[in-house]
Structure 1
Amino acid sequence: MWDGEPLGQAEFTRRPMPLVLPPWLRSQETALGTARWAVRYAGRHIGFHAWRTPAYGLALGWWVLRGTVRAIAAGFGWVSVRGEYQPLITAARDAKRWDLVRDLITERRTLARVRMKTTAWLSVSGGSAGAAGYVILGPVFGWWATVGAGLGALWLGRPRTAPVLPAGPVLPLHLELSADMLTDALRAAGLVKADATPQLVTPPLRDGNGWAVTLDLPRGGGKTAADVIAKRDTLAAELGVDEIQVIMARVRAIAGGHAGRLTVWVADDDPYLGAPNPSPLTCMDTFSVWDPIPFGRDARGRRISLALIWQSMFFGGLPRRGKTFAQRLPSAAGVLDAYVRHYMADGKGGADWRPMRGVAHRLVIGAEDEAITAFLAMLDELIVEMGRRFAVLGTLPTSVCPEGKLTPEISRRYQMPVIFITIDELQEYLSAMAGPVKEETVEKLARLARRAPAAGFILNVASQRPDADSVPAKLREIISYRYCTQVVDRTSSDMVLGKGKAAQGADASILSEDHKGVGVLVTGPGSFEIVRCDYMDLPTFAQLCAHGRALRVAAGTLSGDAASDPVAAAEAAGVQIPTVLADVLYAMHGVERMHTSTLLARLVNTDEDNYSDYTPERLAEELERAGVQRSGRQVKVDGINLAGYRRADLEAAVPAGATLPGPTIPKPNTDGDR
């Protein structure tokens, strides 16, 4: 009730009624998972015993032989009656009652003669019946008689104390999540009192490649589901598995849960190893960034997608753990949208982002002085564009812009494409700046992360060392989505994911060196997931960027640095450019002159395998072979005159046939403000 009026179905959500079906049949995924596990379990046992069939055959033969001997020995003992009378005769002799001994021997002999006659009669009768059966039924009767006799001998010769068959195979994990086991684990972690027991809401069920159970914590203990999630490592140790195999989540009220109810999923093995999952983006012709972007899969193999509109992202972690691969996925989605404008800054200056030269409106390479100047100019351009957009949005009527935010219709109608701001190795830029300049730069980035999403800006930042000096908390704490690959400890994990996240269970330090492309994704104050990112290598990313350039040329949206890059234009036109010439032009991006020593250092940073043994003489020979004619051997940079190259001389060597697209003239708006 609210103000005396009942709430309708649209104003609130009712809890679902209890389901009738058993838990393992309540979803197709669980039912199929249970069936797959049963088939795999049965198949493993069948294969285990089938491989041992020859040994089983020898054992059966031995049991039949032993059963036959036992049957003959038992028959002889029954006919002779020695086993029945021997204890009595021995006892009478010990008592020196010789008359009783004589009577027992006489009685035994009499009974033995009777049993011998009975045995003879049974033998004759059995033989006659067998002969009659053979005459009537033929050889079939003989086979059945042999099988019957063999089964009888097999039963008599079976092992009396050992099991008939050996124990079955040991599967990777056979976890019985009983109430006692969970109680012991929770007590060991200090989450349940000694006299309390958690209640199983659902029994252990097969769910994908693991077991799932839902439980309620006992009341009166003062513990919540969040407390259990925070002690995942202790629970994993008590369950006998690695903590990476234990996935826990609180059951919210919308799903019929409460603060003390949680689901526990235990994988059969490490769920984040194995063959990588190719990104679905590689199979798409176009993509709209207004839709959720495919990012990866969780431990159970479920698709994880990110709605990046109105959001920003921060990537962190140790080197060579797949951080750049993960950061490229959102940018790759933006490349497939011809109405996305890219601003790219690569503080490392390597080859990871080189394909972006064909689509990026602004491209900054490296963190040298001229690159920092270009980086600051790029930020100023973005701040001005943000102000312009908010000014335009503020003048639009509510019928066109009801929430004061960019929409797909406004984006196309008023020439305001979504802007992707990708900054890799941000610490390289901030660490090279003086105090006041650094503070001003951080403030600009914070403004872009805080205000610009409403104007269609998506900030995508990565850093190896997100500490207070390299990337201040003032910037990190306002970025909504965060992704962290392996780090050395919980403190480093909190630097990326947010203060206190490790205590809540979002801890990237539990990842190992084998978890490349795996990280902890935080999407809200209480929402996190360990995600294995989709895989997209550099050659695939390069092909996708080439396709993105073609989309922009066709849509008339190619602009900025990409529109004036001769190498990108030549590659798009299919014109072959010598590799060394393309690499040198990339290393000199945004620079008119560069000393040879600086150029060689940048080439090594871009591709160490190919350029580590280059000398100034060899570089000059290779460029001359590529058609470069230097207008002068010496160039002046920052007042220093040394051997070097001019960008104009290099661009003049680009083969003919690489035509740049003409400037795009925005179409006038003829719709007014309707």
Structure 2
Amino acid sequence: AELDTQLPTNPKLVLETRKRRRIILLSALGGAGAGAAAAWVLVAPAAVVAAVLAVLTVAGALERTRSTTALEGGDRNIEGIGTDPSSRDLKELLAQVKGMGRADEIRVIGPIARDEKDTAWTAVVQTPIPHKKVLAKHEEIAGKFDVAASQLRLTPIKTSEARTRIWCADEDPLTGPPVMSPLIGRTEPFDIWREPVFLGTSTYGAPVEFSPVNKAGMLTAGESGSGKSVADDQLLCAVALDPHAQMWLVDAKMVELEAYRDVAHEYLGRPDREAFKAMVQRLTDEKDRRLEAMARAGVNRITGDNWRRFKAPFILFHVDEIQMFTVGEKNGEVTEPLGRLASQCRAVGIYISVATQYPKNEVVNTFLRANLTVRLGLRCEGTTASNIALGDGMAGRGFNCSSFTPEQRGAAFLKGERGDPVQLRTGYLEKPDEGEQGEHHVRDIVKAAVELRARAGTLPTGDNRPEVRLLEAMIAIVEASGQRNLHTTEHLLPALAQRLPETEGWGPEDLAAALPENTRTSKNVRAFSDTEGREMSRPGYRLAELKAARERL
């Protein structure tokens, strides 16, 4: 009965202990039986019983002490570390991790205490192996502690290579209610030059922020459903609320960035490689203009104080799902120009942000990754993908994005230009699908951004806006035809695809959706129909209506 409680956790030792006790019992009975007859005759029957009981009592006590020591010693299997471990528990569990050393070689420095928020326990241990090797055993240690890997943090002690600070949370900090973004409900301007961008909260509950100013760029990587798009919204919404910042957006999925269209200075909403290359070239030209102006003035950096002087507002160039443009490229036609741009844009107020759900070498090659110096890695499939997201060897050092579970939405590692990655849970912004209930935080923020830019006179009005280029292309096609009216939509779309490659494959509904509001179609456009072989009335756009829409912009 005493050993039954140990059977599930240490069956081998229990069975050996029971076998040993059977041997002791039989030996005691055999030894006592040899003198039983003589004792019966010389003393009394009671003496035999007393002798046997005495032998069994002594042997049983010795065996019980021995087995208890074995069960509670180095071979015992503690069911998790718990929330209030002893120094002995901690040393013995660490000793069960291969390569950590024996329990008597591990020291617990000072008391094991609760943290300030009383949500975790902390301890400092000194081990026979250096901290970097302890860190590589992060997941094994978490397994012995019977906690999620995200509940455990192992950090170095600067004054000793052999010491490690352990922080172990009572509950998984990467689950539970979402971390709401502080941008929700904000209506005042954001200053991207001086305000840090909130990304989320660390496992310790502290805010995690970063600044894109004077940095080359960021790679956001995470498989579908990991929370990658919501993580990117933290930066996008912050830049949108800066009325002087420009947003150049590339939406390869065609639906992910639609909410930002009203504040985008340039917008590519289709996976068109040629149009993307042209957009990168325009941004490269702007980078060169800024560098030349800075060189003439003897200035080596665009800042929040001098950007007006050089007409160089902060530019965020964000590409969602970069793999749509890089996979199958020839001779680096996409990644080489983008990588060169990122390598030179640090000082000129341009920031490159690239996101992908396929972190692979053929998607983001080494040259481009080397120039995206900030990394945000969400849940990935496998250590190879994790290392591409965070940097070579990071998974082996305990920073493994593939360890995140589907329940840990928004769980990520942020790797800055210096230091180790920080584990965090990214901020949350609600974006309900059509028909779903709830606030649409991104649209509300963009609406506030439109009002801020309207007051500041910085709403996108340049000729590079998608709707402007679309209208001007349509007007040019109609005027070139020599007719007062359009050839009808069926004639317009093929001609439009030749002028604007991003419109290839559009139907009438796509065209109507891309035009500014109040651009009316007409059902009474007279034009020759190739299919009918005669002039007929067909839906289309009148030239006067198109010109009026252009003037409103």
TM-superposed deviation, 1:650: 11
TM-score norm. by structure 2 comes to 0.69
**8 Å CA contact retained: 2:87, 2:112:** no
Residue 287 of structure 1: CA displacement? 0.8
How much does 1:555 deviate? Answer: 1.9
Aligned to 2:59: none
* Residue type at the aligned position of 2:270: G
Amino acid of the residue matched to residue 305 of structure 1? Answer: E
Instruction: Say whether the 8 Å CA contact 1:296–1:532 is kept in structure 2.
Output: yes
Aligned to 2:360: 467
Any conservation in 2 of the 1:484–1:508 contact (CA below 8 Å)? yes
2:90 paired residue number = 182
**Residue 119 (structure 2) aligned to one of 199, 205, 210:** 210
1:406-485 aligned at under 5 Å gives the runs 406-431=302-327, 433=329, 435-436=330-331, 439-485=332-378
- Partner residue of 1:282? 184
Preserved CA contact (<8 Å) 1:205 1:211:
yes
- TM score, norm. by length of structure 1: 0.57
Partner of 1:192: 101
How far is 1:178 from its partner? Answer: 2.4
Which of 196, 199, 203 is matched with 1:292 structurally? 196
Shift of 1:422: 0.4
Deviation at 1:597, TM superposition (A): 6.4
Contact 2:92 2:103 in 1 (8 A): no
User: What residue is the counterpart of 2:258 in the other structure?
Assistant: 354
Deviation at 1:211, TM superposition (A): 2.0
Amino acid at match of 1:182: L
1:263 lines up with 2:171 in the alignment: no
Question: Does 2:238 match 1:336?
Answer: no
| Structure 2: distance between partners of 1:652 and 1:361 | 24
Return the match for 1:319 from 224, 232, 239: 224
Task: Map 1:573-652 onto structure 2 (within 5 A).
Answer: 598-599=506-507, 627-629=521-523, 631=525, 652=545
- Match for 1:178: what amino acid? S
**Which deviations, in whole Å up to 9, do the C-alpha atoms of 1:513-554 show, x marking residues without a partner?**
112222122114542122111111332212222222222232
Aligned-pair distance for 1:309?
0.9
Alpha-carbon offset, residue 634 of structure 1: 9.7
Q: Rate the CA distance shift 1:335–1:595 in 2: closer, same or farther, 3 A.
A: closer
1:563 shift after superposition:
5.8
2:10 aligns to what?
none
Q: Which residue of 1 aligns with 2:25?
A: none
Q: How many residues align?
A: 428
Residue 625 to residue 429, structure 1, CA distance change in 2 (3 Å): closer
Q: State how far apart, in whole Å, the 2-side matches of 1:186 and 1:531 are.
A: 25
Q: How many Å separate the matches in 2 of 1:470 and 1:408?
A: 34
- 3-state DSSP of counterpart to 2:160: coil
Q: Superposed, which structure 2 residues align to 1:116-155 within 5 Å? A: none
User: Which residue does 2:133 correspond to in 1?
Assistant: 227
Amino acid at match of 2:307: S
Question: How many Å apart are 1:297 and its aligned residue?
Answer: 0.5
Structure 1: tracts of 5 or more residues without a match: 1-171, 570-584, 607-622, 637-644, 662-674
Matching residue's letter, 2:267: L
More helix by share: 1
Once the two structures are TM-superposed, the CA of residue 626 in structure 1 deviates from its matched residue by: 7.7
| C-alpha separation in 1, matches of 2:350 and 2:133 | 37
Write the letter of the residue equivalent to 1:471: V
Aligned position for 1:491: 384
CA distance in 1, matches of 2:236, 2:357: 19
1:65-80 alignment runs, 5 A limit: none
What is the CA deviation profile of residues 53-73 of structure 1, one whole-angstrom value per residue up to 9, with x for unaligned ones?
xxxxxxxxxxxxxxxxxxxxx
| Equivalent residue, structure 1, for 2:49 | none
Q: How far apart are residue 390 of structure 1 and its match? A: 1.1
Aligned to 1:506: 399
Q: Distance in 2 between matches of 1:216 and 1:330?
A: 39
For 1:122-145, what per-residue CA distance to the aligned partner results, in whole angstroms no more than 9, with x for missing partners?
xxxxxxxxxxxxxxxxxxxxxxxx
How far apart in 1 are the matches of 2:519 and 2:341? 46
Q: Deviations over 1:428-469 (max 9, x none)?
A: 011253x13xx1321111122222011111111101112121
In the TM superposition, what whole-angstrom CA distance separates every residue of 1:216-242 from its partner, at most 9, and x where no partner exists? Answer: 424xx3x22222222111111211222
Task: Quickly say closer, same or farther: Cα 1:527–1:599, change in 2 above 3 A.
Answer: farther
- Residue 155 (structure 2) aligns with: 249
Q: Which of residues 395, 420, 430 in structure 2 aligns to 1:537?
A: 430
**Pair 1:600–1:418, CA change in 2 (3 A):** same
For the 8 Å contact 1:482–1:523, the answer to whether it is kept is yes
CA-atom RMSD, angstroms? 3.8
Tell whether 2:373 aligns with 1:373: no
Q: CA deviation at 1:174?
A: 4.1
Aligned equivalents of 1:561, 1:549: Cα separation in 2:
18
Letter of the structure 2 residue corresponding to residue 186 of structure 1: L
* Alpha-carbon shift at residue 330 of structure 1 (Å): 0.8
Q: CA deviation at 1:194?
A: 5.2
- Ranges in structure 2 where 5+ consecutive residues have no aligned partner: 1-79, 432-439, 472-492, 531-537
Q: Distance in 2 between matches of 1:390 and 1:302?
A: 38
Answer yes or no: is the 8 Å Cα contact 2:518–2:549 preserved in 1. Answer: no
SS in 1 for 2:153: strand
Q: Is contact 1:592-1:647 (8 Å) kept?
A: no
Per-residue deviation, residues 373-403 of structure 1 (Å, max 9, x unmatched): 2211110011111111111111224xxx4xx
Q: Which amino acid aligns with 2:185?
A: C
The residue that corresponds to 2:143 in the other structure is 237
- Looking at structure 1, the residues matched to 519 and 549 of structure 2 have their Cα atoms a distance apart, in angstroms, of 19
Matched, 1:555 2:456: yes
Alpha-carbon distance in 2 for matches of 1:595, 1:634? 23
Q: Is the 8 A contact 2:497 2:503 kept in 1?
A: no
Contact 1:272 1:515 in 2 (8 A): yes
Task: State the percentage of identical aligned residues.
Answer: 23
Separation of aligned partners in 2, 1:594 and 1:635: 25
CA 176–288 in structure 1, closer or farther in 2 if over 3 Å, else same: same
> How far off is 1:511 after superposition?
0.7
Q: Which residue of 1 is the match for residue 209 of structure 2?
A: 305
The answer to whether the 8 Å contact 1:448/1:457 transfers is no
Q: C-alpha distance in 2, partners of 1:542/1:174?
A: 44
Structure 1 segment 45-124 matched on structure 2, within 5 A: none
Asked whether the 8 Å contact 2:251–2:321 carries over to 1, the reply is yes
1:76-109 Cα distance to aligned partner (Å, 9 max, x none): xxxxxxxxxxxxxxxxxxxxxxxxxxxxxxxxxx
Structure with max Cα Rg: 1
Quickly say closer, same or farther: Cα 1:249–1:315, change in 2 above 3 A.
same
Q: For 2:165 and 2:279, locate their aligned partners in 1 and report how far apart those are by CA, in whole Å.
A: 47
> Is contact 1:362–1:561 with CA below 8 Å preserved after alignment?
no
Q: How far apart in 2 are the matches of 1:506 and 1:183?
A: 24
- Counterpart CA distance in 1 for 2:339 and 2:469 is 34
